[in-house]
Amino acid sequence: MSFRVSSSPHNRVQRKTANVMQAVALACIPGILAQVWYFGFGVLIQILIAVLTCLAAEALCVRKRNRAVTPVIKDYSALLTGLLLGISIPPLAPWWIAVIGSIFAIVIVKQLYGGLGQNVFNPAMAGYVVLLISFPVSMTLWLPPLSILSYDISLIDCFMVIFTGYSEQGYSLTQFRTDLDGFTMATPLDTIKTGLSNQQTYSELLNLSIFSGATGQGWMQVNLAYLMGGIWLLQRKIINWHIPLSFIFGLGGLSLIYFLASPDSAITPSMALFSGATMFAAFFILTDPVSASTTNKGRVIYGLLIALLVFVIRNFGGYPEAVAFAVLLANMCVPLIDYYTKPRTYGHVG
């Protein structure tokens, strides 16, 4: 019998960065397929533009820093950043939206801080916030589900609208956003926020065709698909349970309390959890190992903090979807959270 003598740490994880990035990308597939089914092929086009731009920007930055390009590209972190950003962009937004957001995410947020492992903020969400603040109109042009649109949208139509602004038949994005009742729609959360500000009640708004029961049509299915991918990541132990579960329970609990206190002016807990980017954020955005908290207690606090911020911004702020802003604000607090939640050294007294 032979013994190996080595310095600590003795418990080594064999999983490589590239394997983790690949697993997260694979877990996104059910959600992406659901988005394509309900909102069209524009989802895939935006993802393709964002991924290619992120890879090109990463390669250029690494080359300028006189480092080998291939090993950096093969860790798949740039690919995952482009994937997450592309998922977040409206399917028929102009092509340059994805390009600008991807360049900012890689060049400014990631590479200027030193590359993978050095960035303070989540690159995909930082790129998304820059786009949302700079181009609010383009970033809020989400389509209603294809089943209630007045026009059929083919793959060619998606390409033409994204790159020229008009479909093969000459229809604009605004016309595509009009449902069968002639009502131009945004996302369910945006529709509710606008309706409540116009003195409509929550029950009245649910009669619109964009809603199906207590949740937005299509959005619940998309959230369930990302939930499936997230559960697979938990099962594979790619991510820890602390952040996603604390975020989901925190947001659900706050939404339930607010709905019970004011049922005519607040969304239901089911709408809060299964509309917008809730499940996508819980398992794929908040769990970023670089910008999130690194201690178990800190992860719970981090998840609860983001839940509180999302709840406050959604209900009292100017944006219906608040995940990206909440994540970046919580990223700023991570050093403080980690400082006060770091475990005591073994044998420490006092």
CB 246 within 8 A of CB 300: yes
Same domain, 203 and 132: no
Same domain, 44 and 73: yes
Q: Containing domain of residue 146, as a range?
A: 15-185
Q: In 3D, which of 177, 185, 192, 203 has the Cα closest to residue 272?
A: 192
Spell out the residues 6+ positions from residue 133 whose beta carbon is closer than 8 angstroms to its own.
Answer: none
Least confident span in 115-124, 199-208, 291-300: 199-208
Same domain, 172 and 309: no
DSSP string, 47-77: HHHHHHHHHHHHHHHHHHTT--HHHHHTT-H
Here the tokens at position 342 are: 């770091």
Look at residue 38 and tell me whether its pLDDT is greater than 60: yes
Overall domain count for the chain: 2
Same domain, 162 and 193: no
Does residue 3 lie within any of the structural domains?
no
Look at residue 212 and tell me whether its pLDDT is greater than 70: no
Same domain, 22 and 170: yes
Does residue 306 lie within any of the structural domains?
yes
Same domain, 31 and 166: yes
Same domain, 172 and 298: no
> Percent of the chain at pLDDT above 70?
84
Same domain, 194 and 90: no
Same domain, 206 and 285: yes
Same domain, 159 and 200: no
Does residue 5 lie within any of the structural domains?
no
Distance set, CA 252 to CA 244, 269, 270 (Å): 12, 5, 8
Does residue 222 lie within any of the structural domains?
no
Look at residue 171 and tell me whether its pLDDT is greater than 90: no
Same domain, 135 and 210: no
pLDDT score recorded for residue 182: 47
pLDDT score recorded for residue 179: 55
Does residue 2 lie within any of the structural domains?
no
Does residue 228 lie within any of the structural domains?
no
Does residue 316 lie within any of the structural domains?
yes
In the three-class reduction of DSSP (H, G, I as helix; E, B as strand; rest coil), residue 154 is classed as coil
Here the tokens at position 345 are: 């050294």
Does residue 56 lie within any of the structural domains?
yes
Same domain, 167 and 200: no
What would the pLDDT profile of 140-159 be if each residue is shown by its tens digit?
888 777 777 767 788 898 89
Q: How confident is the model at residue 262 (pLDDT cuts 50, 70, 90)?
A: confident
pTM, 2 dp: 0.87
